[in-house]
Amino acid sequence: MGSSSRFNCCAILFCFTFLTLNLFASATIVSHDGRAITIDGKRRVLLSGSIHYPRSTAEMWPDLIKKSKEGGLDAIETYVFWNAHEPTRRQYDFSGNLDLVRFIKTVQAEGLYVVLRIGPYVCAEWNYGGFPVWLHNMPGIELRTANDVFMNEMQNFTTLIVDMMKQENLFASQGGPIIIAQIENEYGNVMSPYGAAGKAYLDWCANMADSLHVGVPWIMCQQSDAPEPMINTCNGWYCDSFTPNSPNSPKMWTENWTGWFKSWGGKDPHRTAEDVAFSVARFFQTGGTFQNYYMYHGGTNFGRTAGGPYITTSYDYDAPLDEFGNLNQPKWGHLKQLHEVLHSMEETLTHGNISTIDYHNSVTATIYATEKGSSCFLGNANSTSDATIDLHGTEYTVPAWSVSILPDCQNVAYNTAKVKTQTSVMIKKKNQAEDEPSSLKWSWRPENTDRTVILGKGHVQTSQLLDQKAAANDASDYLWYMTSVHLKKDDPIWSRDMSLRVNGSGQILHAYVNGKYLGSQWAKYGVFSDVFEKNIKLKLGHNQISLLSSTVGLANYGPKFDLIQAGIPGPVELVGRKGDESIIKDLSAHKWSYKVGLHGLENKLYSLDSPQASKWQEHDLPTNRMMTWYKTTFKAPLGKDPVVLDMDGMGKGVAWVNGHSIGRYWPSFVAEEEGCSIEACDYRGPYDNNKCVTNCGKPTQRWYHVPRSFIENDVNTLILFEEFGGNPARVNFQTITVGSVSGSGIEGDTIELSCQGQPISAIEFASFGDPQGTTGSFVKGTCESKDALSIIQKACVGQETCKIEVSKDVLGSTNCDSSIVNTLIVEALC
């Protein structure tokens, strides 16, 4: 492709942030026109899925990518996380789980393509949107606009990544797997407030990217005015109505949101398999050429990587592969079947003449016709009414809010609303290696706050309140703001009725006055300012005020999100009341002393190599005590199933296993009480993240992923820093495994059940006739075959996988009336 970044798209890409490809031995030519993507002269249907390498571990990558390929993906898509790779200016980290080259080569080894979203702004609910906070603190800088300081830094990092890929021959033009690169990210959503400087920056981004001569197309998502040769793409729950801004650009969907992220205090969002499949089928019905699932595997926000603020440690996203790498069934399987059908239509979808029949009431038929044959989509976007369509003299019933796909325009091979893959129910099992939690012996030590709470001693002093990003440079969640007030009896504010008022940023605040704890306050996701006010008793003379700000991630999205303050923006005021009169003393311009972090963090109490490791106490274990460190040892859970840490009983803090931070924990933050339904989610109608939610009134996140690679074979160490106060007595380790599987089908179908590596132990339910109910609560109907249960038990029990042909010949005759469609439902225990 030479130096051109143009892209002739003759392949329909399903970008699950994973892509299908044989080994890349020589240069691959990727081109595009307004119809499709072409790779090495062949028009392709391509599917992709997003996997973020830092949200898993290097040891997990091969399995995740293998399952992505098995799910029918052609490519893997990932962001590149600037703040992870350049935490300090010009000091880089590509080690361990940040080994981007290793990740891409792992994808390549599985025969998949890569879509590399360099950004370097990524959003992604990641801390500060992926920007290193040192950027914010550079003199004269303005982020994401025509600012020389910022653009120089952005170009330096982008060039670094591109050169790294080139050195390893990873672009398709070099024979590597990277077929698409992205610059910037969803800038069009927030561009307006930047004015003319925003447009100048956008043009600069395009020119800068193009000048890097990567030999593959560059894309800009959510950028309707993307300058050529950039290709603008769509992000959202539905992109069937999206039209590129150039007739020479293919219709591409970079983010099909398979679910949604979770925030502390928020409910668990879910998106049905039927609706995700509907959105994909509609996109290809309307001329789509590339589709990527965001996320295909969400993973975990280890350490301090979660943004928001208030994004949870889990980034499961209800993706086809769950947080731990397990198949999220039926979503994974239902989409796999869709991918197989779409790939089978590759020739007609990429070469066929397109015609559409409008049946009104949101019902359409789309025909892709070539000389060799035709393929059809029958779409019903009505959310309440099924439709009967007459196509070429044959009638087809299309359920509401679904698409039927007919690869030969005669036989329905797939309908998005008819799930014909198993549903898996995951369960948690106790650690079989020891009798937890009783076997866990805890020691403890207090967080030393004397220098801050009592003495007000810090490292830096100023006569103003500092944004926490400026004062802490993102070195820690914690920043102490400390000042003193000297009161005389004739001071106008002196009163028996006084309060401390702190205007905060919505992050966590702990207040201390004269060495005593005054109170705490926090907000929730989307709140960037709040007011803390408590009555206080001051004394004549010297009074010490110490405020601890505790961030829960930095803002990651919105116009000029980088300027949203963290910590205590102020003012900080003393309020004295005398009768109806209130007198305010503003302390904002007082001398403030600052200390970054906590004593225990400075001394690395979480590390096995800490020189303070011998000073833990084993007697008088405190509970519900703020600012306390806890330590225990545990045996590695048996087997290979994913491991989780049950934090039931704890407040809020940070956890480490063998020195590895598994992220922030906050089980005491209970999800909102309202909004959940006990009824099964109705897939019909437009989805948003408030539609299908669960977990009301329960801890936002109780269980925390501990990757197997963090765990040693023998003795392991768990260390907790408890910020709010909790009781570790119920803390324990568990494993995640498939507990039961179920499936259903009508005569002519084949049901396949798999316990994913373990045998089927029993058939909990089986009925062939007119059974009813949902997973976990199936019941027999009015009629059935008397032999079905014993036949299925014989075929399945003891097997890891079994296939059952749904027919009277196999399952026996039923006593059902002829008006009933004989249906088989099976639920098996693993």
Residues with catalytic roles: 186, 255
Rounded Cα–Cα distance for residues 398 and 377 (Å): 10
Rounded Cα–Cα distance for residues 194 and 188 (Å): 11
Helix H or strand E segment including 367: strand 363-369
Asked if the bond preceding 626 is cis, omega within 30° of 0, the reply is no
Largest Cα–Cα distance in the chain?
99
* Buried-exposed string 753-768: b where 16+ CB fall within 10 A, e elsewhere: bbbbeeebeebebbbb
The separation between the first and the last C-alpha atoms of the chain, rounded to the nearest angstrom, is 52
Tell which residue, 379, 381, 383, 384, has the closest CA to residue 396. 379
Task: Dig out the tokens for 684 from the structure.
Answer: 């019909």
The SS3 assignment for 32 reads strand
Q: Which amino acid, 50?
A: S
Question: Using CA atoms in the order 197, 200, 206, 208, what is the torsion angle rounded to 10 degrees?
Answer: -90
**Lateral strand order in the sheet of 592-596:** 460-462, 592-596, 478-487, 541-550, 508-513, 516-521
- Other C-beta atoms closer than 10 Å to the C-beta of 525 total 19
Rounded Cα–Cα distance for residues 405 and 337 (Å): 11
Strands 252-257 and 231-236: parallel
Strands 750-754 and 443-446: unpaired
CB 422 within 8 A of CB 330: yes
- Sign of the alpha-carbon dihedral angle for 465, 471, 473, 478: negative
In order, the DSSP letters of 539-598 are -SEEEEEEEEEE-S--B-SSTTGGGS--B--S-EEEEEEETTEEEEEE-TTS-EEEEES-
Rounded Cα–Cα distance for residues 383 and 400 (Å): 5
CB 244 within 8 A of CB 7: no
For tokens 């709040």, the residue is: 530
For tokens 């909102």, the residue is: 672
Rounded Cα–Cα distance for residues 174 and 401 (Å): 44
The SS3 assignment for 623 reads coil
% helix / strand / coil in the chain, to the nearest 5? Answer: 20, 35, 50
Asked if the bond preceding 637 is cis, omega within 30° of 0, the reply is no
Total length of the chain? 830
Strands 423-430 and 508-513: unpaired
Rounded Cα–Cα distance for residues 405 and 677 (Å): 32
